[in-house]
Chains A and B, each alone.
Chain A
Amino acid sequence: MKQKKYMNPYVGGVLLGLVLIIAFWVSGRGLGASGAAKSAIVTGVKTVAPKHVENTAFYQGYLETHPQPMKEWLVFQMLGVIVGGFISGAIAGRLKFKVEKSPKITSKTRLIFAVLGGILFGFGSQLGRGCTSGSALTGMAVLSLSGFLSMAAIFGTAFALAYFARKLWI
């Protein structure tokens, strides 16, 4: 099946902005992503090593404010993201197992750098109290100082390092 074209980016931006406003209107908080991954990690560690969680201040602190990590707003929102992405991909004929990469590198190289990038992003999202969705996009929409700082730091660094990573993409 031939892939459909992507949506016009400005139309997409307006729709994303409307989703964001609805999120504010319903929950008082915007969108997010990394928070859901954190809920999953804390739940996972608690299941595998309950003693360890009891003895670690970090996990205890998190569980105090989030007694049921898998019943967090962001967890349900991220489950929705997976369903919504799948529906859009199905309609547009884009459902396919594949490793996306520059023609100049092997799939193995791509996967290694994807894991590495994921580790950095996971760590950075915890240090920065939110990722591109929760900190930069949502933070900017509410006009918070941290949203603008976060956006500038994420995109500024990626631009600054783009030259060194060019083989991965172009």
Chain B
Amino acid sequence: MGPLIVNGIISDNTNLFLAFLIGIGFGFVLESNGFSSSRRLAGMFYGYDTTVLKVFFTAAIVGATGLLFMSLFGWIDLSYIYINPTYLWSTIGGGVIMGAGFILGGYCPGTSFCAASIGKLDALAFIGGMFIGILIFAEGFPLWEEFYNAKFMGAPLLSEVLGTSRGLLTFLIILVALGMFYLGEWSERKFARSDYQLNQK
């Protein structure tokens, strides 16, 4: 039956209304976990707060296994799920630039809106910068168009590239995630700071 919009079960406007509700859930969960705090987000890269790693990987494995189970139960048709295309150079190049932006700015786009919603002024500054960055990309597009479209590989799954099944790959990712959680817990003890409190349950 899912995705609802692709199968015509809901109208376009209902889809947009549900987008708004899903966004509320997204923003609420981000804020409740402290993704509205740049020092908490940046803490990931200095080891004193690895919340980002824990939330991010837990969400990814819940999402991946959830999709597999929903497909198994016939609740969702995976062939209608959007798969991000791979343009090798721009995927990596864009990621590298975003990584630099993350460590300097302390937010990513989603978390900056979430942080601005509770009054973080540094998040507002980040959003202003983000608009400038997108404008620069749009205005100078002919300059990087070739790089942007280079090395198009279609929309392969990692499991296809590795020659394995979706299920086995998901299982491996869960194992990797468990290892990372262990590393995260260790790191928070090892790099704990006197001027920073985790303040979580």
Interface size on A, residues (CB 8 A): 126
Interface residues on B, range: 35 or more
- Any chain B CB within 8 A of the CB of A1? no
Which residues of B lie under 8 Å from residue A27 when comparing CB positions?
Answer: 3-5, 15, 18-19
Given known A16-B58, A143-B158, contact A8–B200 (CB-CB < 8 A): yes
Contact in complex: A89, B95 (CB < 8 Å)? no
Of A85, A110, A125, which contacts B94 at CB under 8 A?
Answer: A125
Q: Chain B binding site: helix, strand, loop or mixed by DSSP? A: helix
A-B contact count (CB 8 A): 550
Which residues of A lie under 8 Å from residue B142 when comparing CB positions?
Answer: 57-58
A127 to B99, CA, bound (A): 13
Of A100, A113, A122, which contacts B132 at CB under 8 A?
Answer: A122
| Chain B proximity mask over A110-129: 1 for CB below 8 Å, otherwise 0 | 11011111111111111111
Given known A13-B59, A40-B131, A115-B129, contact A149–B91 (CB-CB < 8 A): yes
B residues sitting closer than 8 Å to A (CB atoms) are 2-6, 10, 15-34, 36-39, 42-46, 48, 51, 54-64, 66-67, 70, 75-76, 80-88, 90-123, 125-139, 141-142, 144, 147-148, 153, 155-161, 166, 169-170, 173, 181, 193, 195, 198-201
